Amino acid sequence: MARKQRTSKETKELFRDPSGQPHLFEKSYQEELEAKAKKQVECLGMTFENDEARRAYFLKELREKLKDPEFRKIEGFPIGSDDDILALSDPPYYTACPNPFIEDFIRCYGKPYDSKTDKYRREPFAADVSEGKNAPIYNAHSYHTKVPHKAIMRYILHYTEPGDIVFDGFSGTGMTGVAAQLCGDKIEVSSLGYQIDSDGRIIETSLGQNTRIISSLGARRAVLNDLSPAATFIAANYAVPVDAKAFAREMKRTMKDLEDECGWMYETLHSDGKTVGRINYTVWSDVFSCANCAKEIVFVKEALDRTTGSIR
């Protein structure tokens, strides 16, 4: 029996109904794509008609690089066909192999150091840093050695200025890249306990009556590297900007499809044998065998006091 597809009022139509406009102030996904296709983008000092043109140009460049035998001799080069590497890549931002565009990136955005004219000076960062591990960004792909991006932001704000290049050679899943970009987010920087004045200067106010300017509001540019292709792939999806509305819409659509196809797996009948309920969790219990009569004893049934929630 075919399942009836459920609809959600939160899901936007893919295409506008030719007979009318159901949402007066909301663009359809098709219209958003058309608008995006007309927007010029700048990348590594070059201007492209749109983001697809940028992607096509650099994919062609990467394909040529992959034909170079010396390029493939780089230690740690992944085992895979050219088509597989190209399918995963979004050059020059992310490549599923050693990124051949890093030199161009440094040349375009780097600032050569001149000891005679450069006035850069920072005291060592000396403060206790403690951040929770329950933020949505952290929980999107958590593991026990992952460093919260807010902890990294404090160091980046202390040692760098907007537009500076930050390199992380052991980037894991890319929290340094997230931190570098969020140094330009006023709300995120304010959540660290700093104040931001009208000129974008970041002020530390935890010094009692004394305050000091520690940095300026603005994103930094991150170069992320890791030996694990899986890690760099996750890092790229964390750090490369996406259309948040389109992503949320696609996730809602995917979740609805999963609900329609697999939701029945998480349903059960209540004790009345009629009412259908959703399974929130399943309790697995030890089962013991009586040494005298060999009868099975289910631990949770015999030992759990459901009134107090404790073991007898």
* pLDDT tens digits, one per residue of 125-142: 988 888 988 888 898 888
Q: Which residue has the tokens 């000091």?
A: 212
Residues 156 and 195 in one domain: yes
Residues 125 and 92 in one domain: no
Residues 143 and 58 in one domain: no
114 CB neighbour count, 10 Å cutoff:
7
Residue 80 lies inside a defined structural domain of this protein: yes
Residues 127 and 196 in one domain: yes
Residue 45 pLDDT > 60: yes
**Least confident segment among 21-35, 97-111, 171-185, 208-222:** 21-35
DSSP state of 3: P
Q: How many domains does the chain have?
A: 3
Residues 233 and 280 in one domain: no
Determine the Cα–Cα distance for residues 14 and 126; give it in Å rounded to an integer.
52
Determine the Cα–Cα distance for residues 236 and 94; give it in Å rounded to an integer.
6
Residues 152 and 226 in one domain: yes
Residue 6 lies inside a defined structural domain of this protein: no
Residues 105 and 143 in one domain: no
Determine the Cα–Cα distance for residues 32 and 35; give it in Å rounded to an integer.
5
Q: Please check whether residue 158 is in contact with residue 215, taking contact to mean a CB–CB distance below 8 angstroms.
A: yes
Residue 54's H or E segment, with its range, is helix 51-66
Residue 250 lies inside a defined structural domain of this protein: no
Residue 142 lies inside a defined structural domain of this protein: yes
Residue 188 lies inside a defined structural domain of this protein: yes
Question: What range does the domain containing 124 cover?
Answer: 119-241
Residue 8 pLDDT > 50: no
pLDDT digits (tens, 9 = 90+) for 243-286: 778 888 888 999 999 999 999 999 999 889 899 999 988 888 99
* Mean pLDDT, all residues of the chain: 86
Nearest-Å Rg of the Cα atoms of the chain is 27
Residues 195 and 215 in one domain: yes
Residue 256 lies inside a defined structural domain of this protein: no
* Arithmetic mean of pLDDT, 163-183: 95
Residue 2 pLDDT > 90: no
